[in-house]
């Protein structure tokens, strides 16, 4: 499990050290840096998953800024504009150690950033250092030297490498209702950043057994049945059917909202169902100790559904999957709090970070990240100004006006 992410001179942050838990919520105002944390993780995975598209001279030595997961433009868009440095760094910590990637920007117009050096400090072990000028070693797809993960010197960094290669990421800009969806290769078990692969996964792995503790008892423990069972928690009567399109690498998704009706095309049942389907699918196919990143899971959900989403994601985290969520919904937050209160998830396994605006002239963004601590009763040790308090402020406004 990742225990922290650190950013230095990366986008809006001069220096950020952010603890991560089994279930982490990134909250706060718009344009305050929440997405930057997600993007740092995704750049490392994108470099791994899009490796085959890079030129041979770039492979294993460059951070890919644009690809299948995120498109961040050029190096000038990534480097911290406040400090104006030509270096930036991303570091990840686990229970087993800390790995830091140091990047040096030679051309601010470039769409990749060269690796300058990498440092690995294992817990209680001997530090390792890699320099880009060292031609004796080769970087693996996740920007980790092969010698550090070889069979004779494998160490615990291999767990970090696997975590980066298997991230399931669902963006806020998810694909909506469609006539058809792409049929993907069976070995690619990713729902896709837009959620576009969820129907194909339901088709290809419909009868795969769900072996984790997230199995809903009211349905057989197979993927399609379990996805349908959990979808019914959000949309009572929901039914899912996926059929191949003849003579095409496509599948058609059918959805119904009652057991008494036929399956409809997704266009006739609204955005909510197709936006939640990828989240449920990803949660059921992801393995223990892997990382699930979700932006705005509350999109197109009624407040009651948003609260249930928070409870559902807390239950996913309780099965051993590490969940990181960016959200603007107090209902999602309260759903997680309810899961803690009912002891479905331990309070120690929850981290909540509130990002607010950086004051003019403040070059240290870290001072603007506040992390209230939750207890087992579901309450926080303090409630920062601006932290999901708009309802109270609006009610105070009406109270001041009187009758």
pLDDT digits (tens, 9 = 90+) for 76-96: 899 866 665 788 999 999 998
Buried b (16+ CB within 10 A) or exposed e, 294-330: bbbbbbbbeeebbbbbbbbbbbbbbbbbbbbbbbbbb
Query: Where is the domain boundary, 252, 269, 285?
Result: 285
Q: Is residue 36, in this structure, part of any structural domain at all?
A: yes
Q: Tokens 């309802």 belong to which residue?
A: 391
Same domain, yes or no, for 40 and 125? yes
Looking at residue 362, its pLDDT comes to 57
Whether residues 196 and 236 share a domain: the answer is yes
Q: Tell me if 396 is assigned to some domain.
A: yes
Distance CA 7, CA 102 (A): 10
Show the beta-strand stretches assigned E in 257-321.
291-295
Residue 252: inside a domain = yes
The number of distinct structural domains making up the chain is 2
193 is in which domain, residue-wise?
Answer: 176-285
Whether residue 65 sits in one domain with residue 9: yes
SS3 string of 218-233? CCCCEHHHHHHHHHHH
Same domain, yes or no, for 72 and 192? no
pTM of the model: 0.92
| Residue 8 CB coordination number (10 Å) | 20
In a domain, 385, yes or no: yes
* Pair (297, 343) in one structural domain: yes
Contact indicator for 333, 310 with CB cutoff of 8 Å: yes
Is the domain of 248 the same as that of 186? yes
Positive or negative, the Cα torsion across 38, 44, 48, 54? positive
50 falls within a domain:
yes
Please report whether residue 194 resides in a domain: yes
pLDDT of residue 86: 84
Domain-terminating residue out of 241, 265, 285: 285
154 and 302 together in one domain = yes
171 domain residue, yes or no: no
CATH classification at residue 328: 3.40.50
Pair 254, 140 in one domain: no
Output the DSSP codes for 306-357.
HHHHHHHHHHHHHTT-EEEEE---HHHHHHHHHHHHTTSS-GGGEEEEEE-P
**Pair (219, 355) in one structural domain:** no
Same domain, 59 and 135: yes
Q: Which residue has the tokens 């069979």?
A: 151
Which residues of the chain carry a pLDDT beneath 50? 53-59, 152, 365-366
Is 220 part of a structural domain of the chain? yes
For the chain, give the number of residues.
403
Q: Which of 245, 264, 285 is where one domain is finished? A: 285
Backbone angles phi, psi at 388, to 5 degrees: 50, 45
Helix (H) or strand (E) holding 241: strand 239-244
Reading the block at residue 123, the tokens are 């817990």
Domain identity same for 113 and 222: no
Q: Do 7 and 141 lie in a common domain?
A: yes
pLDDT tens column, 207-266: 999 877 899 988 999 999 999 999 999 999 999 999 999 999 999 999 998 888 888 888
Rounded-to-integer distance, Cα 277 and Cα 285, Å: 12
């Amino acid at each position: 499990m990742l225990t922290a992410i650190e950013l230095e001179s990366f986008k809006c942050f001069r220096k950020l050290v952010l603890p991560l838990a089994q279930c982490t919520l990134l909250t706060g105002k718009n344009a305050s840096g929440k997405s930057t944390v997600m993007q740092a993780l995704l750049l490392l995975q994108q470099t791994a998953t899009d490796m085959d598209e890079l030129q041979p001279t770039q492979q294993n030595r460059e951070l890919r800024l644009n690809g299948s997961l995120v498109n961040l433009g050029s190096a000038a868009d990534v480097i911290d504009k406040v400090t104006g440095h030509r270096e930036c760094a991303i570091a990840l910590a686990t229970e087993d150690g800390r790995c830091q990637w140091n990047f040096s920007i030679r051309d601010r117009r470039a769409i990749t950033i060269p690796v300058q050096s990498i440092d690995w400090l294992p817990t209680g072990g001997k530090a390792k250092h890699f320099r880009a000028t060292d031609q004796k070693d080769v970087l693996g797809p996740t920007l980790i030297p092969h010698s550090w993960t070889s069979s004779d010197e494998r160490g615990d960094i291999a767990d970090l490498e696997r975590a980066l290669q298997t991230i399931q990421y669902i963006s806020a800009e998810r694909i909506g209702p469609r006539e058809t969806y792409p049929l993907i290769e069976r070995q690619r078990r990713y729902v896709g950043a837009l959620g576009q692969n969820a129907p194909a996964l339901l088709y290809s792995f419909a009868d795969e057994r769900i072996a984790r503790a997230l199995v809903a008892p009211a349905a057989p423990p197979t993927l399609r049945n379990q996805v349908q069972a959990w979808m019914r928690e959000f949309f009572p009567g929901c039914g899912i059917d996926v059929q191949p399109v003849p003579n095409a690498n496509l599948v058609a998704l059918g959805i119904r909202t009652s057991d008494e009706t036929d399956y409809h095309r997704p266009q006739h049942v609204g955005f909510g169902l197709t936006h939640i389907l990828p989240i449920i699918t990803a949660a059921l196919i992801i393995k223990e100790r892997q990382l699930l990143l979700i932006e705005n899971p509350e999109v197109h959900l009624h407040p009651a559904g948003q609260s249930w989403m928070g409870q559902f994601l807390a239950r996913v985290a309780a099965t051993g999957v590490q969940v990181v969520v960016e959200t603007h919904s107090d209902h999602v937050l309260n759903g997680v709090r309810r899961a803690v209160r009912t002891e479905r998830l331990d309070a120690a396994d929850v981290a909540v970070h509130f990002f607010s605006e950086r004051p003019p002239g403040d070059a240290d963004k870290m001072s603007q990240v506040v992390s209230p601590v939750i207890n087992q009763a579901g309450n926080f040790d303090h409630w920062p100004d601006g932290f999901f308090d708009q309802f109270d402020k609006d009610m105070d406004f009406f109270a001041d006006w009187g009758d």
